[in-house]
């Protein structure tokens, strides 16, 4: 049996720059792992079964679960290694909110790839694992790498940044509200396609990419300048998600007000939402913001977490 911890991520920066021939969007993101982790137990089985057990009612336990797809992909790609070894039982202890913009499903799939490589001794390299991850979902390669990284392409091209500030995120999500990622991107396309770069013009794309690589957020992260990281938070998907979810707009405005009074550095929605986060460089302040957000709304459906920035995506527990 092998136990893994799979961290959630937040997007410090998410810019949509155009359409891709594969139907996805070309993105430029700065992603950060946070220490809010699902626990994944992998237990080898003697039969070729893939069994998923999860304590969260919204998580499917059939072949639609990304963790299930991760096992199928490994079985397909390494038939001679996996046939001798049978199947696997995956128990997911869910701590990462579901449908939240925190890459919970991708983190689970990343943990399964990482764990099966260990369990079945596949000898995959970090790049090999990330390539397999990219076949499962755009965020899986980042979830494998962890820490703080620039992610380009669909989000699957990951450049880890060596230095990043040690901050704390206060995360807030209405448990009963989820946003569909395909819906968020489709709606964005319908409204903003006229602003997309023509990606046939490679020079322009390269120019845009090089700008973010040297951009203000990357500069702020690399200089470990917490105030500048807070000031540079950006997420294009807010433009479509916030107008469609007034409660989330209200949550963001209130969190920003509370954080401003308590030394917070900036407030933004993560990924396709609806989780909103505020950054601070101080754990005590993070706790104060968490308490004040909770007591302001006084709504049992609103879950508020404090999660320190993490330097790893997946960790195997000894
Ligand atoms: O890759 P992943 O399965 O996480 O993507 C979910 C959906 O989000 C895609 O089916 C697509 O509709 C949208 N998406 C996109 N461009 C990206 C990433 C995701 O349009 N770069």
Q: What is the per-residue pLDDT for 208?
A: 73
Could you tell me the distance, in angstroms and rounded to a whole number, from the CA of residue 283 to the centre of ligand 1?
34
Residue 9 annotated in active site: yes
83 has pLDDT over 70: no
The answer, yes or no, to whether any atom of ligand 1 lies below 6 A from the CB of 154, is yes
121 Ramachandran zone, left/alpha/beta (phi>0; psi -120 to 50): left
Q: What three-state secondary structure class fits 35?
A: strand
Mean pLDDT of 286-296: 98
Read off the pLDDT of residues 159-195 as tens digits, 9 standing for 90 and up.
999 999 999 999 999 999 999 999 999 999 999 999 8
85 has pLDDT over 80: no
**What distance in Å separates the CA atoms of residue 103 and residue 110, rounded to the nearest whole number?**
10
**CB 269, CB 101: distance < 8 Å:** yes
Q: What is the per-residue pLDDT for 198?
A: 79
Sign of CA pseudo-dihedral 15, 195, 249, 58: negative
Q: What residue segments make up the domains of the chain, in order of their start? A: 2-162, 168-308
Confidence of residue 31 (pLDDT cuts 50, 70, 90): very high
CATH class of 2-162: alpha beta
Could you tell me the distance, in angstroms and rounded to a whole number, from the CA of residue 287 to the centre of ligand 1?
33
**CB 218, CB 161: distance < 8 Å:** yes
Read off the pLDDT of residues 223-239 as tens digits, 9 standing for 90 and up.
999 999 999 999 999 99
Could you tell me the distance, in angstroms and rounded to a whole number, from the CA of residue 219 to the centre of ligand 1?
27
Mean pLDDT of 258-285: 96
Q: What three-state secondary structure class fits 124?
A: coil
Q: Which two tokens stand for residue 68?
A: 């299930």
Read off the pLDDT of residues 1-11 as tens digits, 9 standing for 90 and up.
999 999 999 99
Q: What mean pLDDT is reported for the chain? A: 94
Confidence of residue 213 (pLDDT cuts 50, 70, 90): confident
**CB 124, CB 132: distance < 8 Å:** yes
How does DSSP classify residue 227? H
Nearest-CA residue for ligand 1 atom 12 is 182
Find, among 29, 37, 38, the residue nearest to 156 by Cα: 29
Find, among 15, 285, 286, 306, the residue nearest to 172 by Cα: 306
CATH of span 168-308: 3.30.70.890
Adjacent-strand bridge partners of 29: 14, 151
204 has pLDDT over 80: no
Q: What is the per-residue pLDDT for 196?
A: 87
Q: Which residues contact 298 (CB under 8 A, 6 or more apart)?
A: none
Catalytic residue among 38, 139, 236, 281: 139
Strands 148-153 and 88-93: unpaired
74 has pLDDT over 70: yes
The answer, yes or no, to whether any atom of ligand 1 lies below 6 A from the CB of 141, is no
The helix-helix angle for 283-297 and 246-261 (nearest 10°) equals: 140
**What distance in Å separates the CA atoms of residue 287 and residue 172, rounded to the nearest whole number?**
13
Q: Select from 16, 19, 22, 25 the residue to mutate for testing ligand 1; criterion: most ligand atoms less than 8 Å from CB.
A: 25
Mean pLDDT of 92-117: 97
């Amino acid at each position: 049996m092998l136990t893994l911890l799979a961290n959630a991520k937040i997007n410090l920066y998410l810019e949509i720059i155009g359409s891709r021939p594969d139907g996805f969007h070309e993105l430029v993101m700065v992603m950060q792992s946070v220490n809010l982790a699902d626990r994944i137990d992998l237990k080898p089985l003697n039969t070729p079964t893939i069994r998923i057990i999860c304590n969260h009612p919204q998580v499917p336990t059939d072949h639609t679960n990304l963790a299930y797809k991760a096992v199928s992909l490994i079985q397909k790609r390494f038939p001679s290694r996996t046939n001798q070894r049978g199947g696997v039982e995956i128990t997911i202890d869910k701590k990462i909110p579901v449908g939240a913009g925190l890459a919970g499903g991708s983190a689970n799939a990343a943990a399964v790839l990482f764990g099966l490589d260990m369990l079945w001794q596949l000898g995959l390299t970090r790049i090999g694992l990330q390539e397999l991850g990219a076949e499962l979902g755009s965020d899986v390669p980042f979830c494998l790498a962890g820490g703080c990284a620039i992610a380009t392409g669909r989000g699957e091209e990951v450049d880890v940044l060596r230095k990043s500030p040690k901050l704390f995120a206060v995360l807030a999500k209405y448990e009963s509200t989820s946003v569909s990622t395909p819906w968020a991107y489709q709606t964005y396309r319908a409204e903003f396609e006229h602003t997309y770069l023509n990606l046939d013009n490679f020079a322009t794309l390269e120019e845009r990419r090089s700008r973010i690589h040297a951009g203000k957020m990357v500069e702020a992260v690399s200089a470990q300048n917490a105030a500048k990281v807070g000031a540079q938070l950006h997420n294009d998907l807010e433009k479509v998600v916030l107008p469609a979810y007034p409660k989330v707009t209200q949550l963001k405005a209130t969190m920003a007000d509370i954080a401003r009074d308590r030394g917070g550095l900036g407030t933004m929605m993560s990924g396709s939402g609806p989780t909103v986060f505020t950054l601070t460089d101080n754990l005590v302040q993070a706790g104060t913001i968490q308490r004040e957000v909770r007591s302001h709304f006084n709504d049992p459906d609103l879950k508020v977490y404090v999660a320190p920035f993490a330097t790893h995506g997946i960790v195997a527990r000894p």
